[in-house]
């Protein structure tokens, strides 16, 4: 997705401030002071994130169909809702929903972490890790890495920091972007973090919603693994194909 053609219909700075206030209110109301309510809200916003990364992955894979299909896809995103809504109205609505979900997800996750620390203010002399799963132990730094990557990715492919950025030329920007080895390495590292986050996050959602039982645990873990591999793999195949000149 590209840099906006303007956000006049949002009412300028006042609308942005209203949006920020609304997000803060939702965050405060999500579960109140109860950890259960906050966990449900974290799970719900996580599901929104999963829906986005899956849809975005499918869109990225259009690069294998050639220049015209993926450029048309980029244009379609901006034209959604016309002529009922102004150009980019639906796109910006989806963006703001996603931003709200990310802010709420991060805020409530941090609050839950602080609640957990306050519940056990004095650490043990020796604590054997309860979670043997590496994905669980990397959720914090993995989430931070993904947040930093999102900023980097937007700057490179949406805001035009890309050294050979051409507005509206999604195909060109992908090809010239991923021919830069450092960018591809950063992208692949972020996809590893995404896979770990998706795996443990998916498993945690089933626990939060009361779906995970002992007899279903193995099936749920396999499903979480499949989801993580499909999404992270779907993203990773694009820069690798460009780097090895399978797409050019």
Architecture of domain 12-243: Up-down Bundle (1.20)
Q: Is 210 left (phi over 0), alpha (psi -120 to 50) or beta?
A: left
What does DSSP assign to residue 123? -
Those residues with Cβ within 8 angstroms of residue 236's Cβ, 6 or more apart along the chain or in another chain: 187, 188, 191
Task: Enter the pTM of the model.
Answer: 0.79
Q: What would the pLDDT profile of 179-228 be if each residue is shown by its tens digit?
A: 999 999 999 999 999 999 999 888 888 877 777 677 788 888 899 999 99
- Confidence (pLDDT) at 218: 86
Asked if 131 and 137 count as a contact pair (C-beta separation under 8 A), the reply is yes
């Amino acid at each position: 997705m590209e840099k906006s053609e303007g956000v006049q219909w949002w009412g300028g700075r006042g609308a942005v401030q209203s949006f920020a206030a609304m997000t803060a209110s939702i965050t405060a109301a999500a579960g109140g002071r109860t950890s259960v309510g906050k966990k449900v809200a974290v799970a719900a916003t996580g599901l929104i994130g999963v829906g986005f990364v899956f849809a975005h992955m499918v869109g990225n894979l259009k690069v294998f169909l050639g220049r015209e299909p993926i450029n048309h896809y980029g244009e379609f995103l901006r034209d959604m809702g016309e002529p009922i809504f102004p150009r980019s109205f639906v796109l910006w609505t989806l963006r703001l929903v996603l931003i709200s979900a990310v802010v709420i997800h991060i805020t409530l996750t941090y609050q839950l972490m602080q609640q957990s620390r306050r519940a056990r203010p004095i650490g043990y002399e020796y604590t054997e890790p309860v979670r043997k799963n590496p994905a669980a132990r990397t959720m914090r730094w993995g989430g931070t890495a993904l947040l930093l990557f999102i900023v980097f990715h937007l700057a490179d492919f949406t805001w035009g920091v890309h050294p050979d950025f051409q507005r509206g030329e999604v195909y060109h920007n992908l090809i010239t972007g991923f021919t830069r080895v450092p960018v591809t390495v950063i992208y692949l590292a972020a996809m590893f973090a995404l896979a770990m986050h998706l795996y443990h996050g998916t498993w945690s959602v089933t626990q939060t919603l009361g779906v995970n039982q002992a007899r279903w645990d193995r099936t749920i873990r396999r499903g979480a693994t499949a989801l993580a591999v499909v999404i992270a793999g779907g993203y990773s195949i694009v820069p690798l194909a460009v780097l090895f000149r399978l797409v050019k």
